[in-house]
Structure 1
Amino acid sequence: MKKETILQMISGLIAALFFYASFSKLLDYDKSLWEMKNQIFPPAMAWLLTWLIPFLEILLMCTLLFPKTRKKSIVGFIDYANHIHFIHRHCDDGHIWPDTL
């Protein structure tokens, strides 16, 4: 397989992951807000982050679909995954990450 084909497949899978995660947070907004209020940052930030995180996931998902921005988006995905791993405390991620992380 060509390197570009593998990169397209990985990008498509990550984009599908972000699609599911972001829209599941937006569709169940009350649960997402409640879970965001139980995180390590101040509860006053919960409302902002409940909207900001799905927006960033959708933005990252869209940039994964274009060849010019694909490589930077994959780096962004790795950075995002590292941040989620360090602040994850039963946060609503659409049940994509196991609770044992």
Structure 2
Amino acid sequence: MEYACETHGNEFHVQVSGRMTHADHRGFRGILNTINEAGSSRIVFDLGKAEFLDSSALGMLLIVRDAAVQQERVVVLKGASGQVEKLIAIGKLHKYFEIA
């Protein structure tokens, strides 16, 4: 997994590319720390360049969501297609995230 983070106004964007799997859990901690430091009210995960997510990746996204809810922040999953979009649908993530 590769990622890039940037702030746009009151939104913090994380663009994910490649494969996001259990092997990325350590790197994901860095993303989580950066999100917490940013303090933006909306966290947008741009999954347009993500090729594959496994169940561990979904767990990592849910960890971000749980932390965000405690801080009254919103997490958005944006731009998913192909296998990633199917996984989001099968996992019924629309119940937990805003989908754009």
TM-score by length of 1: 0.25
Q: Which structure is higher in helix share?
A: 1
Question: Greater share of strand residues, 1 or 2?
Answer: 2
Answer 1 or 2: higher relative contact order, Cα 8 Å, separation at least 6. Answer: 1
